[in-house]
Amino acid sequence: MTTTPLSPVDLFASALHIHPDGDVRAAERRMRSSDSGAWQIATFHVATDADVHADHWEMHPQADEAVCCLTGGVRLYVRPAEPDATEDMVQLQAGTAVIVPRGRWHRLELDAPSDLMSITLRHGTRLEAAAQDGNDRQVPRPAQ
């Protein structure tokens, strides 16, 4: 029997990938689509809206996503399903999470520097730039 030495994994430098066969491996974080079939647990130090691509919508067609606020505070916006409807917003404080349903476009804005964790299957993940109005506010764009 071969044993692998146990060692800590820096969750802010890499992600955990949970594979369908039950293997869990530390690997590079992937923010775009991945065909590995693995669920990704990724943790981030974020200080500005640019760190959470606040100017982009994100969507995961293959799975729900758990967005967890470990420290700080963020606002998660979900693009409306109906034209001319308003965005839904969920405020997350330290120690809270929200489950974003698969196929729903969403984005984040920071209230304070934060540590965040996301858990999802990245296969098919899409990003789309959000439109801006003249006051630099995000404007929902119709789903494609």
Is residue 70 a part of any domain in this protein?
yes
* Residue 42 is assigned to a structural domain of this protein: yes
Q: Indicate whether 89 belongs to any domain.
A: yes
Report the CATH number at residue 46: 2.60.120.10
Instruction: Region of 81 please: left (phi>0), alpha (psi -120 to 50) or beta.
Output: alpha
pLDDT in tens, 110-130: 999 999 999 999 888 898 998
Residue 17 has pLDDT above 60, yes or no: yes
Would residue 72 count as lying in a domain?
yes
Lowest pLDDT segment from 8-17, 21-30, 100-109, 134-143: 134-143
Q: Does residue 10 sit within a domain?
A: no
**Domain range enclosing 36:** 15-139
Range 11-18 contact pairs with CB under 8 angstroms and sequence separation of 24 or more:
11/41, 11/42, 11/43, 11/117, 12/43, 12/44, 12/45, 12/115, 15/40, 15/41, 15/42, 15/43, 16/40, 16/41, 16/42, 17/41
| Structural domain contains residue 114 | yes
Single pTM value for the model: 0.84
Asked, for residue 38, whether it belongs to a domain, the answer is yes
Predicted pLDDT at 140: 45
Domain count, the chain: 1
